[in-house]
Amino acid sequence: MRKLQKISAECRDELGILAEVFKVEDVIEIARKGVLALPALVVNDELKVAGRVAPVAEIKKTLEGAAL
């Protein structure tokens, strides 16, 4: 499990959000999401972070907003 994936899963668990966290390795699928730089965080088919590992607080805020 890579760093962004691990942090995202930990944040999900801490927030009690029911969601799947997974790594996409298919280059075509990555491109379809509009990702131009890795790592990237896509939530509900929307690109939220690309090219960096976001801080925990930012990931939590993103997940909380998506869970509404």
What six digits make up the tokens of 20? 């799947």
Contact 31, 47 (CB under 8 A): no
pLDDT band for position 54 (50/70/90)?
very high
Q: pLDDT tens digits for 10-46?
A: 999 999 999 999 999 999 999 999 999 999 999 999 9
Between vectors from CA 47 to CA 43 and to CA 49, what angle results, nearest 5°? 95
Within 10 angstroms of residue 27's Cβ, the number of other Cβ atoms is 9
User: What phi and psi, each to the nearest 5 degrees, are found at residue 49?
Assistant: -145, 135
3-67 adopts what CATH topology? Glutaredoxin (3.40.30)
pLDDT of residue 5: 97
Contact 16, 51 (CB under 8 A): no
Domain ranges of the chain: 3-67
pLDDT of residue 67: 79
What six digits make up the tokens of 9? 């899963």
pLDDT band for position 68 (50/70/90)?
confident
